[in-house]
Amino acid sequence: MWREVGRGPYRYKLRLRAVNLAFLGWIVGFVAILPAGPALAVPVVIVALGDSLTAGTGLDGPEAAFPARLEAALAAVGVDAVVHNAGVGGDTSAGGLARLDWSLVDGTDLVIVELGANDALRGLDPAATHANLDIIVGTLRERGIGVLLAGMLAPPNLGKEYGDAFRVAFETTAAAYDVTFYPFFLDGVAAELSYLQRDGMHPNAAGVEVIVERILPTVQQAILVLHAK
């Protein structure tokens, strides 16, 4: 039978097949005898490099912002992690690049790159956004730091040509460096007034929870990639 997963534009259908239990047992036994990969230090150190969407503008303190809520969500699924808030309100991709070095903390294992919303709001050239993201992600990979690149979409009023070029800037960067990619940071929240503050742009507390819930599996995937290396 078929089962539908995901929401909105990111909806897929997966075919569920009956699995022979004897075969499944063989697979489990085989995996159990494989040598274990290198263990990461505990806790996993994550830096959320972003703009006001990461910083938590308009929320009731840093404990309500995305990094703190993500840390709590990871703990709830058994992942020991510390998520540092390196979000700066109003930052563009160029601003994130300029402060990349001092935004990292000792022992950083993974960086969640959440930049670009202000590039689009200012109508900046998508090619410039692409160039900045390329340097950020490339620098982190050269240093052996894992990356989860969060995509961003441009407002519809900027037109289809601009919107397509802006979206592709994220997709091509993620593909070029083979890093974990989450297509749209505000998936499920953008244009949903019940999840936004009065400005219609920044998520409220409920909106942050939606962001965390949706991106959590991708963060777990990025952590698994760290374990595999």
- 154-168 pLDDT tens trace: 999 999 999 999 999
Letter for the amino acid at 107?
A: G
Average pLDDT of the chain is: 87
- In this prediction, residue 38 has a pLDDT band, given cuts at 50, 70 and 90, of very low
pLDDT of residue 27: 37
Cβ neighbours of 40 (radius 10 Å): 17
Active site residues: 52, 199, 202
Q: Which residues contact 113 (CB under 8 A, 6 or more apart)?
A: 49, 50, 96, 133, 136, 137, 140, 147, 148, 149, 150
pLDDT score at 195: 98
Q: What is the mean pLDDT of residues 211-224?
A: 98
Query: Angle between the 126-142 and 160-177 helix axes, to the nearest 10 degrees?
Result: 10
Question: What's the pLDDT at 5?
Answer: 38
**Banded pLDDT at 7 (limits 50, 70, 90):** very low
Question: What CATH superfamily classification does 40-228 receive?
Answer: SGNH hydrolase (3.40.50.1110)
| DSSP single-letter state for residue 203 | B
Can you give the three-state secondary structure of 81-114, one letter per residue?
EEEEEEECCCCCHHHHHHCHHHHCCCCCCEEEEE
CA–CA separation, 140 and 146 (whole Å)? 7
115 and 134 Cβ atoms separated by less than 8 Å: no
Span 110-128, average pLDDT: 98
Q: Tell if the pTM clears 0.85, that is, is over it.
A: no
Question: What is the rounded radius of gyration, in angstroms, for the C-alpha atoms of the chain?
Answer: 19
pLDDT at 22: 41
Residues in Cβ contact with 178 at an 8 Å cutoff, skipping those fewer than 6 apart:
none
Q: Are 37 and 69 in contact, with CB atoms under 8 Å apart?
A: no
Q: What would the mean pLDDT of 102-107 be, rounded to a whole number? A: 97
| pLDDT value, residue 40 | 59
Q: Domain segments of the chain: what residues? A: 40-228
Of 33 and 137, which is predicted with more confidence? Answer: 137
Residue 68 has which token pair?
């703190």
Assign 41 a pLDDT band (cuts: 50, 70, 90): low
Helix (H, G, I), strand (E, B) or coil at 216: helix
**What residues does 5 pair with on adjacent strands?**
12
Per-residue pLDDT at 61 exceeds 80: yes
Long-range contacts of 65-70 (CB under 8 A, 24+ apart): 65/208, 66/114, 66/208, 66/211, 66/212, 69/208, 69/209, 69/212, 70/46, 70/212, 70/215, 70/216, 70/219
- For residue range 195-205, list pLDDT tens digits in order: 999 999 999 99
